[in-house]
Structure 1
Amino acid sequence: MELLWLRSLKEDFIAMNPSLYKKFSNPKKITLHFGQLKMELKAVVRKTLAYDTIGLSHKLHSKFLIPKDVPYEIYNDDGDVYIGPLIAYISLSKYKQLLNQKYVKSLPSFLDYNSVKGVIVICAEDSINLKSGTIEGYYLSKGQKKWKEGIFPLPDAIFNHSLMNQNRISSLQKKIGDKVFNSYRLNLNKWETWQLLSTNSKIAPHLPYTEKYTNIAKVKGLLEKYHSLYLKPASRARGIGQMKLDKERRGISLVDFEKNKLFFKDYQDLSKFLDRKISTNYIVQQAVHYKAKNRHVDFRLVLQKNSDRKWGLTGLVARIAKEGSIITNAQGRDQSILGKKALKSIFGLSDEKAKSIISQMTDIVIEAVNMYEKNGYHLGDLAADIALDPNLHIWLLELQLNYGVNARTTEGLTEFFQRVVSTPFKYAKALSGFTSKNTED
């Protein structure tokens, strides 16, 4: 159905063609839904309207903003009319800093809005009032591709990108149902990830051996076995705090995430250094990597739920580190290229073999994500960091909810970034009930 805003219609009326009115069983009143807002409107017949069009008053208002400069999708369910979708994206930042966020600035240019439509609101945790059922935020005006401020009802669905605590998430879910995804926003703890995933016989062979860092004895035992280790903060992202240890003939070398290099003649000296350096929970992890021209290479696989509410591969990017860097995150990265291209050009694989490796990577990550969802997490958007060793064995290094792709202006990756930005909103639209089947009826 189509929506038409009528200046001649009284504010508490809804208008429709005689045939559509009959299909609705000649109602006296119709309930209109916009997000969690419900309004009872008097039904009136307008012969000038097309069959699949409903009319709402241009003066329609409540304590909430219902934008009139965006295209809506409409469906009816048991005589009620739903317009939308109304989707909220909760940012990591405070409300006052919203418009300064890189992601928010990028959204108007990269979002495939025509595939979503409705009202997309960006807000912050501190702009949500559960008691009054309101969110203060900015909505995307389609025609002008800019953000406009307003107060809105609680939405149909929420794409969470904040550090909101679980009690508040639960309160939101009670209001709108299980339509808050990435509901566990704090990045997945590396040690807890290992503990969970290592119990799965399909995933365990693809996990670098990991233990919780407790003392130098733990490091010594694993370094003697694997010859190369990573020390990683259990909860931090973007490579911050990581250190790489290598056993050498005359001692132990250490390189940190800032490319600082140190050498220790024995474990006693290393122990003294680590005692000073480590002040939070760390893991000790078997080092697995591939080097091309003395540069570390790994992959970031983005997995997202789509408009069919199913997991799908959005894209794979290879990340090539700067020379001497132990991390491939933005700080230590030299360049990013499409994953399939890297598998062919760096690893020398055929097109068919590259596709097979990507398919295997995707299957492993989906298997891992399913374990989290069985434990009560509602996920819809995440990234997996993956290494491929010289024997083409796949290693799952990390799962991240708070991830970046840094592909806005990278040659060849713009379309990938557009898919990464758009797909979660297509999933949110499906969660909202605005499916192709509903809106075409």
Structure 2
Amino acid sequence: MKFTIITNYTSSHSIALHSKVLDKLSVSEFQLINVKFGVIEKNAVTLLKHQEEESVIHISADLFTGFLLPEFLEYEVTIEEEALLIGPIIGLFILGKFDEMTRQRMRIYKKYLIDYEHLNGLILLVTSDGINQENKIVNGFAYNPIEEEWMKGTFPFPSVIYCRKTVNKVERLILENLIGNKYFNSHVFNKWEMWQWLSTNAELRKYLPETGLAVNLQEVKKLLDESGCIFLKPISGMKGSGIYQLTKSSQEYTLQYRLSGLNMLTVLDNWEAVKYYLETELNLKKYIFQKGIQLLKYDDRVIDFRAIVIKDRNGSWAVPGMVAKYGEKKSIVSNISSGGSAEKSWETLSEMYGGDFKEAYKKYKEMEQISILCCRLLEKRGIHLAYIGIDIGMDEDKNLWIIEINNRSPDMTIALDANDSQLYYQTKAAPLHYSKWVAGFRGELK
């Protein structure tokens, strides 16, 4: 049930609800109760009863000292730990300064509100310099669903934060002080950390290519001699940039890579030449090496799959969909930003299995299970995530391999590249639905 707020200037330290709402919440008139607006808590507030519309809440003006709770919004109410929550109040922690925010700059965040009618409450854009930690308020921008614009003001600090920027140590301490662990997608981990963590799990280990630190060139040579092909990848690289494929034949060594949008090839006569090239052209301390997997190709285009993994509105991991990525011809990477393309995963799998839908479905479910298992393992490490992109490759024997976990800021537009607008908007809305669940609003009052 949605509620509108009316400010009451005739009473003090009180909130008036309709008698039916009091009954639904299992509270009574004149009861003293703590009330929370985001992280701001008002103690011993008197509950009163009114006989107006059931969907109206009267709140005394003195409870709003120092901040706004916009009356043009519709809110929900619930009881959690014997406190009355009015909200939800959710924040998107964004890059930039408060005074730098323009209407044009803030436009990109509206797409997260595509399903606002099922969110309700106060959705804020929060900048680091807008936070007043002492008073638990924020100078920020509230979403106005009527005008579909952002409104500047001072508001209660949100009870949940979805991080849309890199969070530094100082900001992390501030968030933890205000909301504990109720902020997510703030933790950035690299490829080496990912491999170390996932390889401890026996079930996932079989999906991981052999990997090591490239600074150990003897180990690089050993794996290359054994497998004939390895990849060198930046530990913290993104979008397929800086990746090298090193192949050994009986006569020579071949390096393939991309440079300025072009596929490049360098042929070297012996290992000493390879070693010299790697030591002079790459900062090996910032690279890993990985056993080369012969991924399936179509028309000389390498193929892998992006599993989109979210926390749903019930706080559970889910895979709303996957996208198949096709690299540019003869490219060693499948990234869209490197000339690749995408299509719905089911179309690719159906073609791979020659129309055997049962086998295609089994492989889809296997990728789904791998993805959720990865997320659960990361969660056990104390990493609070709610939206991840996991890249999974399939070799010529149709074995699956975990290629990469995109946790920094997985590009949601990959679904649009695959002409799957439903998946795009579902993914876009998911983090705020999860935020609502974290905030304690887990089912509307009927």
Check whether TM > 0.5. yes
CA apart distance, 1:284: 0.4
Q: Is the 8 A contact 1:299 1:385 kept in 2?
A: yes
Quick check: 1:281 aligned with 2:286?
yes
For the residue of structure 1 that corresponds to 2:202, the secondary structure is coil
**What is the match of residue 14 of structure 1?**
15
**Taking structure 1 as reference, are residues 29 and 337 closer, same or farther at Cα in structure 2, changes over 3 Å only?**
same
Q: Is the 8 A contact 1:319 1:333 kept in 2?
A: no
Which of residues 299, 306, 313 in structure 1 aligns to 2:305?
299
Q: Is the 8 A contact 2:94 2:126 kept in 1?
A: yes
Q: Is the 8 A contact 1:230 1:245 kept in 2?
A: yes
Quick check: 1:404 aligned with 2:404?
no
Once residues 312 and 321 of structure 1 are traced to their aligned partners in structure 2, the CA distance between those partners, rounded to angstroms, is 27
Which of residues 148, 168, 172 in structure 2 aligns to 1:169?
172
Tell me whether 119-128 or 72-81 shows the greater mean CA deviation.
72-81
Quick check: 1:225 aligned with 2:230?
no
Quick check: 1:309 aligned with 2:315?
yes
CA apart distance, 1:311: 0.5
Once residues 96 and 170 of structure 2 are traced to their aligned partners in structure 1, the CA distance between those partners, rounded to angstroms, is 19
**What is the match of residue 413 of structure 1?**
420
For the residue of structure 2 that corresponds to 1:65, the secondary structure is coil
**What is the match of residue 118 of structure 2?**
115
Once residues 297 and 206 of structure 1 are traced to their aligned partners in structure 2, the CA distance between those partners, rounded to angstroms, is 17
TM-score (norm 2): 0.88
**What is the match of residue 263 of structure 1?**
267
Quick check: 1:319 aligned with 2:302?
no
Q: Is the 8 A contact 1:234 1:282 kept in 2?
A: yes
For the residue of structure 2 that corresponds to 1:219, the secondary structure is helix
Quick check: 1:431 aligned with 2:438?
yes
Once residues 222 and 98 of structure 1 are traced to their aligned partners in structure 2, the CA distance between those partners, rounded to angstroms, is 51
Once residues 273 and 334 of structure 2 are traced to their aligned partners in structure 1, the CA distance between those partners, rounded to angstroms, is 28
**What is the match of residue 38 of structure 2?**
35
Once residues 11 and 99 of structure 1 are traced to their aligned partners in structure 2, the CA distance between those partners, rounded to angstroms, is 39
Give structure 2 stretches of 5+ with no counterpart: none
Give structure 1 stretches of 5+ with no counterpart: none
Q: CA RMSD in A?
A: 2.8
Which of residues 372, 376, 386 in structure 1 aligns to 2:382?
376
Q: Is the 8 A contact 2:124 2:140 kept in 1?
A: yes
**Taking structure 1 as reference, are residues 126 and 269 closer, same or farther at Cα in structure 2, changes over 3 Å only?**
farther
Once residues 374 and 330 of structure 2 are traced to their aligned partners in structure 1, the CA distance between those partners, rounded to angstroms, is 31
Once residues 65 and 139 of structure 1 are traced to their aligned partners in structure 2, the CA distance between those partners, rounded to angstroms, is 10
Quick check: 1:344 aligned with 2:350?
yes
Q: Is the 8 A contact 2:394 2:401 kept in 1?
A: yes
- Give the paired residue count: 436
CA apart distance, 1:31: 4.0
**What is the match of residue 4 of structure 2?**
4
**Amino acid of the residue matched to residue 427 of structure 1?**
Y
Which of residues 87, 90, 101 in structure 2 aligns to 1:87?
90
CA apart distance, 1:140: 1.8
Deviations 1:271-329 (A, max 9, x none): 22211222241100112222110111111111111111111112211111111322222
Q: Is the 8 A contact 1:219 1:284 kept in 2?
A: yes
Q: Is the 8 A contact 1:7 1:59 kept in 2?
A: no
For the residue of structure 2 that corresponds to 1:257, the secondary structure is strand
**What is the match of residue 72 of structure 1?**
75
Which of residues 342, 346, 367 in structure 1 aligns to 2:373?
367
**Amino acid of the residue matched to residue 145 of structure 1?**
E
Once residues 343 and 77 of structure 1 are traced to their aligned partners in structure 2, the CA distance between those partners, rounded to angstroms, is 45
TM-score (norm 1): 0.89
Q: Is the 8 A contact 1:296 1:325 kept in 2?
A: yes
**Taking structure 1 as reference, are residues 88 and 264 closer, same or farther at Cα in structure 2, changes over 3 Å only?**
same
CA apart distance, 1:260: 2.3
Q: Is the 8 A contact 2:80 2:440 kept in 1?
A: no
For the residue of structure 2 that corresponds to 1:348, the secondary structure is coil
Identity %: 25
Tell me whether 76-85 or 205-214 shows the greater mean CA deviation.
76-85
**Amino acid of the residue matched to residue 327 of structure 1?**
V
**What is the match of residue 144 of structure 2?**
141
**Taking structure 1 as reference, are residues 95 and 391 closer, same or farther at Cα in structure 2, changes over 3 Å only?**
farther
**Amino acid of the residue matched to residue 200 of structure 1?**
N
Q: Is the 8 A contact 1:5 1:58 kept in 2?
A: no
Q: Is the 8 A contact 1:91 1:160 kept in 2?
A: yes
**What is the match of residue 389 of structure 1?**
395
CA apart distance, 1:401: 0.9
Once residues 48 and 331 of structure 1 are traced to their aligned partners in structure 2, the CA distance between those partners, rounded to angstroms, is 57
Tell me whether 33-42 or 418-427 shows the greater mean CA deviation.
33-42
Which of residues 319, 335, 338 in structure 2 aligns to 1:332?
338
**What is the match of residue 245 of structure 1?**
246
Once residues 269 and 222 of structure 1 are traced to their aligned partners in structure 2, the CA distance between those partners, rounded to angstroms, is 17
Once residues 360 and 97 of structure 2 are traced to their aligned partners in structure 1, the CA distance between those partners, rounded to angstroms, is 42
**Amino acid of the residue matched to residue 213 of structure 1?**
A
CA apart distance, 1:170: 4.3
For the residue of structure 2 that corresponds to 1:412, the secondary structure is coil
